[in-house]
Chain A
Amino acid sequence: MERRQNHHQQPQNLRRNPSSSSSSSSSHSSNHRPRYRPPNRAGGDARPHSREDPYLDSGDAAAGGRPRSLARPMRAHASEAAAGSSIGVRERQEQHRRDQDREDDRDCRELASVVGTCPHMCPVGEMAQRERLRDLAVFERLHGNPAKTSPELAVKKFCRTISTRDVQLLDIRPFSVLGSTLDYLMSLMNSTPEPFETVHDFIFDRTRSIRQDLSMQNIVDKRVIHMYEKMVNFHVTSHHKLRLRSSGPDSFNISSLHHLNMEQLAKVLTSLYNLYDLNRDHSSTHKNEPEYRSLYVLLCLNSESLPEGERLSLWFRRVPTPVIKSKEMSFARRILRYFRTGNYSRFFSTIAAEASYLQYCALEPYIDKVRALAVLCINNGGYKLHPYPIAHLSNLLMMEESEVESFCNACGLETSLDEQGNKVLPTKQPAFEHPKAGYGKYGFSGLENICRGREAEENV
């Protein structure tokens, strides 16, 4: 079989076949004004579900609907066609046939790379409009004034319904601006007095807008990987911090924030993995890829995958071998095994010994589940005349003793004292029940070490 390069001309007007059932196509018109027309989706066709863009998360906007090819230089075919006599009959035949094909080929071969020109974190037009409408987030207000902002404070909002007809280049931030915007947003995580939900909400929305701008400019190369990793960090950390706050009067609101956060996290992770795959050379892995891949496993421990995600058994099929063999993935797989076999002993000790901060945050919701399983097993299988020492349970489950007691109570079990005055859990109590969701928040004894490890990493 011959290997041939696909040389493509840039046709001025691709005719789109409206009865197409295949993926959407795009057109690029050579206007004088640098306008960008995002691709149209092919109507409401018979394609089953799958609204998601498999390659890039565009934050749900209409833009960014199709798989894109790598930004490789496209050689102009025009010169070759013009060279006429030096080309054999065969090449001319192929050219002829290709022209015929292109007429009714609905697929888009390449997209123009558009570069935005907005110099600030927020387009000037939007800034003015939101000042007028007093639609400024608390972080965007100049000296607290709800009607005044500045280029240093305003950040472009995510817009669900972008008019597909035209978006001005002046409204799109180029890559360098997006990078500094993201860094600014990340810096807000730890530096404001506002309650965490407010910070989360703001960063959630504004990072979605960043992804939208990236997608519209079709930026899918290596540079973006680090940005997506930072956004995953944000969502995973929120996963942990929102959980801590989901009790009390605001808990319903926060738990829906938590759920939406999981959804976005799934999208960003998937995009990140696609970026890793797109930008892989020599089947190596990217520097942080093992850790970020391991997060998927830890988020899906109980074999229900992330929303619209894949079952783990299927997901593993497409993970590159070097990632599978990595330390981070090996950790995740062991945790998975301990979870699935119910080995609560190793589950906790391994987390304490090996988890990174991100990994801990990802699997945190399962910690109490495993604790409940442990308490259940001990209560069921323990000898009635040997009540289980709370101190021992505390070591086993990586919890403070006071929290162990409270946890047992949450499971419908009573604790008591033995003759020496030590706290114990009598076994064979009939009333075990799983703690209700959001009942209480328990710590993890090894957490300081894990956090210390994280600080050390960040200082590197």
Chain B
Amino acid sequence: MAAYLSMGEAHRRITDYLARFSDAVASQDVASLKPLLSLSSASPSLVSLADALNLLQDSNRLIKQSDRYSQFAEILAPLFRCLQNYRLHNLVDAYPAYEKAANAFIQEFRNWDSAWALEALYVIAYEIRVLAERADRELSANGKMPEKLKAAGSFLMKVFGVLAGKGPKRVGALYVTCQLFKVYFKLGTVHLCRSVIRSIETARIFDFEEFPQRDKVTYMYYTGRLEVYNENFTAADQKLSYALAHCNPHSEANIRMILKYLIPVKLSIGILPKDWLLERYNLVEYSNIVQALKRGDLRLLRSALEEHEDRFLRSGVYLVLEKLELQVYQRLLKKIYIIQKQKEPTKAHQMKLEVIIKALKWLEIDMDLDEVECIVAILIHKNLMKGYFAHKSKVVVLSKQDPFPKLTGKPVNA
């Protein structure tokens, strides 16, 4: 508390806030209401209000002073407590106070017929999450169990329930859903997304097209990621591509986030991104992988995976990328085939396993006959290669027509 603050001034600031709050509600002015709830904005007016509250210590009396304010006491009193704690960097106590205020706000919100306050509700949903995250960080730093984010998730589910009804308020449900996704992803309790997704996608009160564009993009991004984790590549492609197509083209950070997951999906269905795309959006961790696929260079794939192992594991795409190995084998064998065709076109469709072993040795990869035969058998089984292998002669005989079918946008056969 740097500058000197008089009691009178403190008094004035608090009453000023109370007046603005009640006026905003009375005139259904959401633009004025929003900044009053937006804790994390750390606006000068909120900061100075918090100082005033910390000095005065008895704001309840001021709230009760007039009916105009006391009708909102259930919201304002805990909100003030929150501000005081927040100002003193005590997030662990700030969070429950904000939740209490938010809870009271929702009760009021329920009673308002129109959806005028929806954007204020968005602010609250956002603040609940962000405040809980910070509180948990503080708890962890003090050697305690982080538990506020979990509580935030429960609270947001409640908010979702309030919005999930007929009437104009329901368009807000997607925003809250996205906040829930962020909470669950952070907590790692991703399976909890299922119930909200089910509500959004099957409840008859919701029409997906009605939701605001921004929320639809965020929703598709998260559900797209879930499809990546579940390895449903066709669905993942659809959702992430939707997000990409409808994303704000100036929002580079968001585009990058979408691409981070879309690229592995596209790679899995045989579609390679251009180099400029990777550079433009700083996704160069995928460069060598794309190269490896183009060249059939197994060593490059493995080294690229190792180099960025941590990053890929943390984002959850490692297993998807690892599986690209089969496509790299396909490419390698195709190259051998092409070379053979140039040397001796009539015999090109017969490939000795020894030749494959030699090619791999060049790439510093050791494989014995058994393993090569196994790989060949698998490629045939998954329709990445057409032909058969002759065990005794240790030879692969490729089909004369289209021996290396392209993936054409479908994932490799299970």
Chain A: residues with CB nearer than 8 A to chain B?
A: 1-6, 21-23, 45-50, 55, 67-70, 72, 93-94, 96-98, 100-101, 104-107, 303, 308, 310-314, 316-319, 321, 324, 336-337, 340-346, 373-374, 376-378, 380-386, 388-389, 392, 396
Is A94's CB under 8 angstroms from B154's CB?
Answer: no
A50 x B380 contact (CB < 8 A): no
A22-B151, A341-B326 known; A50 vs B189 contact (CB < 8 Å): yes
**Interface contact A381-B388, CB-CB below 8 Å:** yes
Q: Does B110 lie at the interface of the complex (its beta carbon under 8 Å from any beta carbon of A)? A: no
Q: CB < 8 Å: which of A23, A68, A321, A380 contacts B154?
A: A23
Of the A-B pairs whose beta carbons lie under 8 Å apart in the complex, a sample of 10, sorted by A's number, is A6-B92, A22-B150, A22-B155, A23-B147, A72-B143, A93-B54, A313-B320, A316-B313, A343-B374, A383-B391
**Does B85 sit at the interface, judged by CB under 8 A?**
yes
Stretch in contact with the other chain, from B93-101, B214-222, B244-252, B332-340: B93-101
Nearest CB of chain A from residue B83's CB, rounded to whole Å: 11
User: Which one, A4, A47, A345, A388, contacts B90 given CB within 8 A?
Assistant: A4
Partner of B188, one of A93, A314, A340, A345: A314
A377 CB contact (under 8 Å) in B188, B310, B378: B378
* B204 is an interface residue with CB less than 8 A from chain A: no
The 8 Å CB contact of B142, one of A6, A107, A317, A340, is A6
Inter-chain contacts of B389 with A (CB < 8 A): 381-383
Which residues of the other chain, B, contact A107 by a CB distance below 8 angstroms?
96, 147, 151
Task: Establish whether residues B380 and A377, one from each chain, have CB atoms under 8 Å apart when the complex forms.
Answer: yes
Binary per-residue interface labels of chain B (339-350) against chain A in the complex, 1 for a CB within 8 Å, 0 otherwise = 000000000000
A346 touches B188 (CB 8 A): no
Among B173-202, those with CB < 8 Å from A are 188-192, 194-195
| Chain A residues with CB under 8 A of B54 | 93
Most chain B beta-carbon contacts within 10 A, residue among A48, A107, A384: A48
Verify A383–B142 contact, CB threshold 8 A: no
* Least CB separation from A428: chain B residue: B388
B195 touches A48 (CB 8 A): yes
Cβ-Cβ contact count across A and B, 8 Å cutoff: 180
When distances are taken between beta carbons in the complex, the residues of chain A under 8 Å from B382 are 342
- A340–B313 CB distance below 8 A: no
Of all chain B residues, the one with the shortest Cβ separation from A47 is: B154
Bound together, the chains give a CA A389 to CA B380 distance in angstroms of: 20
Contacts of B150 in A (CB 8 A): 22-23, 67
Tally of B interface residues using CB under 8 Å = 72
Known A377-B380, A383-B391: A3·B141 in contact at CB below 8 Å: yes
Q: Which residues of B contact A (CB under 8 A)?
A: 54, 57, 78, 81, 84-85, 88-90, 92-93, 96-97, 99-100, 141-145, 147, 150-151, 154-155, 157-158, 161, 188-192, 194-195, 228-231, 309-310, 313-320, 322-323, 325-326, 370-371, 373-378, 380-382, 387-393, 397
Contact of A97 among B81, B143, B326, B393 (CB under 8 A): B81
Q: Are B310 and A321 in contact (CB under 8 A)?
A: yes
B42–chain A nearest beta-carbon distance, Å: 13
Chain B residues whose CB sits within 8 angstroms of the CB of A312 once the complex forms? 319
**Chain A contacts of B319 at CB under 8 A?**
312-313, 316, 336, 340
CA distance A434 to B310 in the complex (A): 37
Known: A48-B157, A374-B377. 17 other contacts (CB 8 A): A3-B142, A22-B155, A47-B157, A48-B192, A70-B144, A94-B90, A101-B93, A101-B97, A105-B96, A107-B151, A314-B188, A316-B313, A316-B318, A345-B374, A378-B377, A383-B389, A396-B370
Q: Which residue of A lies closest to B153 (CB)?
A: A47
Given contacts A377-B381, A382-B391, A311 and B147 within 8 Å (CB-CB): no
- In the complex formed, the residue of A with least CB distance to B95 is A107
Q: Which chain A residues lie closer than 8 Å to B141 at the CB level?
A: 3
Of listed A3, A308, A383, residue having the most chain B CB within 10 A:
A383
Cα A21 to Cα B370 with chains together (Å): 59
For residue B299, give the distance in angstroms from its CB to the closest CB of chain A. 15
Q: How far is the CA of A361 from the CA of B147 in the complex (A)?
A: 36
